[in-house]
């Protein structure tokens, strides 16, 4: 099993103590967002967890306790953009705080296990293409030698972030300009020893030197864990997403980063209400069990391919 921690919220930043408690206890409860009274109990033992993929804008709160995960292979998807507080309200200053944290994490884990995400890319009156190019170059230069890979994506409009995108006056650029933009991004990254790939994009950017990416990547995971796994494409993700199957343990409406483009928070009121329910000792993230809830054991197993001997 591959554990996703988490596409729905920033667990390393805000809920790392809860996560470490879940690892210690050996299980977690996850509420089905499509059926609120359906709860899965998920085994977190090292025997079934092949790899953990962390998603975060700030892993600092969990960095001093990473040794507690010695039984688990893992890597980080670390989002680091050029946006200011107007876009990413609660993310610390990038140059003063976040770049040094990225560098420290890379020094601790190795550059292969820390992937830089410059996403989503949004074009507005403030954040024009030339702004992104300049910001990307500054961050890329600072991360030289600290990562091998950069992932980019362009903002997707959902019902949940459509209002914010309209308020930001976000706009699209013509395809020719977009391709020129991507070529510049790729040249900057290459000059710093990085490859660039795109996340869940319909457009083919191969001519710009940018391939389609798998954030939960079978090849990378096999490289990190040291053995082959048998796993298919994640059918619960968008068609353009190349990720393989994983088990998600996060919860919507619990992220406190305050990003204007976020699709995982439906409303600030819901975030406040859910965060008030946070209990580091609860098997549920920001939730309370009720009499109507039905808990079932989710079947989990290692994805390790069995090696067949010539003498079997």
**Above 80 in pLDDT, residue 239?**
no
Average confidence score pLDDT of the chain: 93
Q: What's the confidence (pLDDT) of residue 201? A: 84
Q: What's the confidence (pLDDT) of residue 309? A: 42
Q: What's the confidence (pLDDT) of residue 268? A: 87
Q: What's the confidence (pLDDT) of residue 307? A: 62
| Rounded mean pLDDT, 17-25 | 98
| Rounded mean pLDDT, 15-27 | 98
How far is residue 157 from each of residues 35, 101, 136, 221, 250, measured CA to CA in Å? 24, 30, 23, 30, 22
Span 27-61, pLDDT tens digits: 999 999 999 999 999 999 999 999 999 999 999 99
Cβ-based neighbours of 182, under 8 Å, separated by 6 or more? 152, 196, 205, 208, 210
As a whole number of angstroms, the distance between CA 156 and CA 162 comes to: 9
Q: What's the confidence (pLDDT) of residue 310? A: 44
Span 250-293, pLDDT tens digits: 999 999 999 999 888 988 899 999 999 999 999 999 999 999 99
Span 98-121, pLDDT tens digits: 999 999 999 999 999 999 999 999
As a whole number of angstroms, the distance between CA 216 and CA 213 comes to: 9
Q: For the chain, what are the domain ranges?
A: 2-297
As a whole number of angstroms, the distance between CA 142 and CA 150 comes to: 13
**Above 80 in pLDDT, residue 312?**
no
pTM of the model: 0.94
Span 135-178, pLDDT tens digits: 999 999 999 999 999 999 998 776 667 788 888 899 999 999 99
Looking at the DSSP assignment, which residues form a beta bridge with residue 74? 52
Q: What's the confidence (pLDDT) of residue 277? A: 96
Higher pLDDT, residue 309 or 31? 31
DSSP letters for 61-107:
HHHTTGGGGTTS-EEEEEE--S--TTTBTTSPPIIIIIHHHHHHHHH
């Amino acid at each position: 099993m591959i554990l996703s921690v988490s596409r729905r919220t920033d667990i390393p930043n805000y809920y790392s103590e809860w996560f470490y408690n879940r690892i210690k206890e050996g299980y977690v409860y996850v509420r089905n967002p499509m059926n609120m009274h359906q709860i899965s109990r998920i085994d977190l033992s090292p025997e079934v967890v092949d790899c953990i993929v962390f998603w975060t804008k700030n892993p600092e709160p969990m960095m001093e306790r990473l040794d507690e995960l010695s039984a688990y292979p893992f890597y980080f998807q670390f989002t680091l953009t050029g946006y200011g507080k107007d876009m990413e309200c609660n993310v610390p200053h990038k140059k003063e705080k976040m770049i040094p944290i990225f560098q420290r994490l890379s020094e601790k884990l190795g550059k292969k296990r820390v992937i830089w995400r410059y996403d989503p890319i949004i074009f507005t009156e403030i954040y024009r293409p030339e702004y992104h190019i300049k910001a990307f170059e500054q961050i890329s230069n600072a991360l030289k030698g600290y990562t091998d890979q950069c992932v980019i994506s362009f903002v997707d409009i959902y019902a949940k972030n459509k209002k914010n995108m309209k308020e930001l006056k976000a706009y699209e650029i013509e395809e020719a300009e977009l391709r020129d933009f991507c070529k510049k991004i790729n040249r900057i990254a290459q000059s710093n020893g990085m490859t660039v790939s795109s996340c869940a994009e319909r457009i083919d950017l191969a001519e710009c030197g940018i391939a389609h990416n798998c954030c939960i990547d079978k090849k990378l995971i096999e490289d990190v864990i040291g053995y082959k796994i048998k796993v298919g494409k994640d059918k619960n993700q968008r068609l353009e997403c190349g990720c393989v199957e994983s088990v998600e343990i996060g919860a919507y409406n619990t992220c406190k980063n305050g990003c204007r483009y976020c699709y995982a928070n439906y409303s600030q009121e819901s975030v406040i209400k859910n965060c008030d329910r946070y209990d580091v000792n609860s098997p549920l993230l920001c939730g309370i069990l009720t009499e109507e809830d039905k808990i079932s054991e989710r079947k989990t197993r290692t994805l390790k391919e069995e090696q067949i001997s010539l003498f079997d």
